[in-house]
Amino acid sequence: MRPYIFEQKNQIYIINLDETVKQLQRATQFLQEVTRRRGKILFVGCKKQAQQAVKEAALACGQFYVNQRWLGGTLTNLATIRKSIGRLKFIEQIEQSPAFKKMGKQEIAALNREGAKLRRNLDGILEMAQLPDALVVVDTTREQNAVNEARRLNIPTVAIVDTNADPEIIDYPIAGNDDAIRAIRVILQKLVDAIVSASSDSPVAAQAEMAGVSA
């Protein structure tokens, strides 16, 4: 991270924000390109400071997210993850059926526990039927497994990289403080704005808008 550090004060590294702005521009341009070709983006950030911001960012631009726990094989073994999603949908169907109320208390409790666990881990990727076209990661050190899976599958990664991270393993690193909620939100908002802007510029969105006007 040396090229992206402005100076060191009292054993604290100060990030060079000029470099951050340049990196942010590259990252937003890339995500806009992905969006214009109707690609899908997966936001990842499971640390406490990032969980809510990651979820809100993904929902704001209609993308996927993982903000509780990265399940091994989420990308490299998507078929197994889809089976877990199928199990969750099956449990939800049972919960809505008349037979659910006739079950024993222990059986209901077991289904409730299983369903709650699956929802917590899979809620943001329920509709992710195929691999995403890009990842946006908060804290690459903590989310090393996600980064490794993306690299193995040649899925480009945009990430906030702090001074303790390795920017060389990220396709579009953005130097920033990944421990500060405000810093995380500011950077994610810039990425979301770029994605939303590209969505409105896409041919599909333009056709939909024209159809709405003519209707």
User: Is 42 in contact with 135 (CB distance < 8 Å)?
Assistant: yes
**Would you put residue 73 in left (φ > 0), alpha (ψ -120 to 50) or beta?**
left
Number of domains in the chain: 2
**pTM exceeding 0.75:** yes
User: Is 172 in contact with 77 (CB distance < 8 Å)?
Assistant: no
pLDDT of residue 13: 61
Q: Within the chain, which residues score under 70 in pLDDT?
A: 1-17, 201-215
Three-class DSSP category at 8:
strand
Closest alpha carbon to 138 in 39, 63, 53:
53
The answer on 204 and 147 residing in a single domain is yes
Q: What is the DSSP string of 144-163?
A: HHHHHHHHHTT--EEEEE-T
> Between 48-60 and 181-201, two packed helices, what is the crossing angle to 10 degrees?
10
Closest alpha carbon to 34 in 134, 130, 124, 147:
134
The answer on 50 and 36 residing in a single domain is yes
pLDDT tens figures, 188-209: 999 999 999 998 765 544 443 4
The answer on 113 and 53 residing in a single domain is no
pLDDT of residue 134: 97
The answer on 198 and 136 residing in a single domain is yes
| Run of H or E including 137 | strand 134-138
Cα–Cα distance, 59 to 85 (Å, whole number): 19
The answer on 68 and 22 residing in a single domain is yes
- For residue 113, give its domain range: 78-124
The answer on 114 and 37 residing in a single domain is no
pLDDT of residue 10: 61
The answer on 210 and 140 residing in a single domain is yes
Please, which residues have CB within 8 angstroms of residue 150's CB and are 6 or more apart in sequence? 75, 135, 156, 157
pLDDT of residue 14: 60
